[in-house]
Protein backbone atom coordinates (compact mmCIF):
# COMPACT_ATOMS: atom_id res chain seq x y z
CA UNK A 1 0.00 0.00 0.00
CA UNK A 2 1.36 3.36 -0.89
CA UNK A 3 2.84 5.40 -3.68
CA UNK A 4 5.95 7.49 -4.26
CA UNK A 5 3.88 10.50 -3.06
CA UNK A 6 4.41 10.50 0.72
CA UNK A 7 1.40 12.74 1.48
CA UNK A 8 -0.92 10.59 -0.66
CA UNK A 9 0.39 7.41 0.99
CA UNK A 10 -0.11 8.86 4.47
CA UNK A 11 -3.70 9.85 3.61
CA UNK A 12 -4.37 6.29 2.37
CA UNK A 13 -2.83 4.88 5.54
CA UNK A 14 -4.98 7.05 7.82
CA UNK A 15 -8.16 5.84 6.09
CA UNK A 16 -7.17 2.24 6.85
CA UNK A 17 -5.71 2.71 10.32
CA UNK A 18 -7.23 1.07 13.37
CA UNK A 19 -5.99 0.30 16.87
CA UNK A 20 -4.75 -3.29 17.11
CA UNK A 21 -2.25 -4.85 19.51
CA UNK A 22 0.15 -7.39 18.03
CA UNK A 23 2.11 -9.82 20.15
CA UNK A 24 5.82 -9.42 20.62
CA UNK A 25 8.27 -12.31 20.38
CA UNK A 26 10.72 -12.32 23.26
CA UNK A 27 12.48 -15.66 22.69
CA UNK A 28 13.06 -18.22 19.94
CA UNK A 29 12.32 -21.89 20.64
CA UNK A 30 12.05 -23.27 17.09
CA UNK A 31 8.28 -23.78 17.32
CA UNK A 32 7.59 -21.73 14.21
CA UNK A 33 8.94 -24.61 12.12
CA UNK A 34 7.26 -27.43 14.11
CA UNK A 35 3.89 -26.10 15.28
CA UNK A 36 0.54 -26.37 13.56
CA UNK A 37 -0.86 -23.25 11.89
CA UNK A 38 -2.53 -21.04 14.48
CA UNK A 39 -3.28 -17.65 12.97
CA UNK A 40 0.18 -16.13 13.16
CA UNK A 41 -0.90 -13.37 10.77
CA UNK A 42 -3.91 -12.46 12.92
CA UNK A 43 -6.37 -13.96 10.42
CA UNK A 44 -8.08 -16.47 12.74
CA UNK A 45 -11.87 -16.76 12.85
CA UNK A 46 -12.09 -15.00 16.19
CA UNK A 47 -13.60 -11.76 17.49
CA UNK A 48 -10.11 -10.48 18.36
CA UNK A 49 -8.55 -11.06 14.91
CA UNK A 50 -7.07 -8.31 12.77
CA UNK A 51 -9.85 -8.78 10.22
CA UNK A 52 -12.52 -8.43 12.92
CA UNK A 53 -10.81 -5.26 14.23
CA UNK A 54 -10.91 -3.70 10.74
CA UNK A 55 -14.54 -4.78 10.29
CA UNK A 56 -15.62 -3.42 13.69
CA UNK A 57 -13.87 -0.12 12.91
CA UNK A 58 -15.79 -0.01 9.60
CA UNK A 59 -12.56 0.04 7.59
CA UNK A 60 -13.65 -3.01 5.57
CA UNK A 61 -17.20 -3.87 4.46
CA UNK A 62 -17.19 -7.60 5.30
CA UNK A 63 -15.66 -9.63 8.13
CA UNK A 64 -13.72 -11.72 5.62
CA UNK A 65 -10.38 -12.11 3.91
CA UNK A 66 -8.89 -14.06 1.05
CA UNK A 67 -5.34 -15.25 0.62
CA UNK A 68 -3.98 -16.51 -2.69
CA UNK A 69 -0.41 -17.72 -3.07
CA UNK A 70 1.27 -18.91 -6.24
CA UNK A 71 4.85 -19.93 -6.94
CA UNK A 72 5.74 -16.40 -8.05
CA UNK A 73 3.28 -14.04 -6.36
CA UNK A 74 0.50 -13.64 -3.84
CA UNK A 75 -2.47 -11.51 -2.86
CA UNK A 76 -4.05 -10.79 0.51
CA UNK A 77 -7.44 -9.11 0.42
CA UNK A 78 -9.17 -7.85 3.58
CA UNK A 79 -12.92 -7.45 3.48
CA UNK A 80 -13.60 -10.10 0.82
CA UNK A 81 -11.96 -11.72 -2.15
CA UNK A 82 -9.74 -10.14 -4.75
CA UNK A 83 -11.35 -8.83 -7.94
CA UNK A 84 -12.03 -11.46 -10.60
CA UNK A 85 -9.67 -9.76 -13.05
CA UNK A 86 -6.79 -11.16 -10.98
CA UNK A 87 -8.05 -14.77 -11.00
CA UNK A 88 -5.93 -17.03 -13.22
CA UNK A 89 -8.18 -20.05 -12.69
CA UNK A 90 -11.36 -20.88 -10.73
CA UNK A 91 -11.05 -20.47 -6.95
CA UNK A 92 -10.52 -23.69 -4.97
CA UNK A 93 -11.32 -24.50 -1.37
What local confidence, expressed as pLDDT, does residue 38 receive?
Answer: 55
Question: What is the pTM for the complete model shown?
Answer: 0.62
Distance CA 88, CA 93 (A): 15
What local confidence, expressed as pLDDT, does residue 74 receive?
Answer: 79
CA 44 to chain centre: 10
Note the pLDDT tens digit of each residue in 17-71: 888 877 766 777 776 666 665 556 677 788 888 899 999 999 899 999 888 777 7
Amino acid sequence: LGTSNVVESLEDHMQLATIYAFGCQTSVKGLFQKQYADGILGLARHHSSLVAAYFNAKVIHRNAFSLCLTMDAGHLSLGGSMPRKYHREPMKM
